Amino acid sequence: MNQFNGIILEGNSNAGKTSVLKSLKKLQANDDDAERSVVILSEHYSQVLHRVNGEITALNRREHLSLLQDRTLMLTKLNEWARELGQVQRSKGIFFILERFHLNHRVAFSDSEVNEMKQIEAQLLAMGAKCVLLTISPDYIENRLRSRHPEEWIGKSEAEIKMACDLFSKQQEEFRQQATDSVIPTIEINTDTGDWDSCARQIYFFENKIK
């Protein structure tokens, strides 16, 4: 048995990643049979965009690759340590959750070479990583965007609203395509209902069945 296993949460902004992550934390903490050690990295440790001194800053492709390589190396070293200790039981292994990782990079730099990204994905796959892509149905996109940042929609024209929704749909399709191209097994979960606990249960209890 692989003493490592974990989930990578991916999807557009507002798809529900952070909300699902919170529910996953609670679910894992209340599972008496869960892994003893848990590594959880929110999007702030791995995403392309960062807020520095109040300003949004975007990493370039090389910078972001280096960031993901550092995070993956950290997990790899933990994996090697667990092997040395002989921690092969699920209850003594390590469970990791990553928010925004390989697909975030693939979508942001879709026109770039992906060989180095494939190497990172191969390492994650070897550690039992599985990906969950959170999505929203077209009819629910506008309501979700409005509910998350209502102040940003005041005074927007119908054309601007449509443009924002169309962009969301386009990016979501890009995530789907990049997930297909990735070696990491991926399932898609729709978050229209906003029932984050239900989404977390789907992910947590079916995690070992994603092939």
Give 87-113 pLDDT, tens digit per residue. 555 445 678 999 999 999 999 998 888
Ranking 99-103, 146-150, 156-160 by mean pLDDT, the lowest is: 146-150
pLDDT at 211: 42
pLDDT at 49: 79
Q: Could you name the CATH architecture of 4-209?
A: 3-Layer(aba) Sandwich (3.40)
Report pLDDT digits (tens) over 62-76.
999 999 999 999 998
- State whether the Cα torsion 48-51-57-63 is positive or negative: negative
DSSP 43: G
Higher pLDDT, 184 or 38: 184
pLDDT at 150: 86
Question: What's the mean pLDDT in 154-165?
Answer: 93
Q: Which amino acid is at 84?
A: E
Ranking 27-36, 87-96, 123-132 by mean pLDDT, the lowest is: 87-96
Question: What's the mean pLDDT in 9-32?
Answer: 91
Phi-psi region of 14 (alpha: psi -120 to 50; beta: other; left: phi over 0): left
Is the predicted pLDDT of residue 54 greater than 70, yes or no?
no
Is the predicted pLDDT of residue 135 greater than 90, yes or no?
yes
Q: Does residue 109 contact residue 172 with C-beta atoms inside 8 Å?
A: no
Is the predicted pLDDT of residue 19 greater than 90, yes or no?
yes
Alpha carbons 69 and 158: distance in angstroms, whole number: 42
The residues spanned by each domain of the chain are: 4-209
Report pLDDT digits (tens) over 174-205.
999 999 999 999 999 999 999 999 999 999 87
Alpha carbons 163 and 23: distance in angstroms, whole number: 31
Is the predicted pLDDT of residue 147 greater than 60, yes or no?
yes
Per-residue burial over 68-81, b = 16 or more CB atoms within 10 Å of its CB, e = otherwise: bbebbeebbebbee
Listed as own residue / partner, the contacts of 88-91 with beta carbons closer than 8 Å and 24 or more positions apart are 88/1, 88/3, 89/1, 89/3, 90/1, 90/3, 90/33, 90/35, 91/33, 91/34, 91/35, 91/36
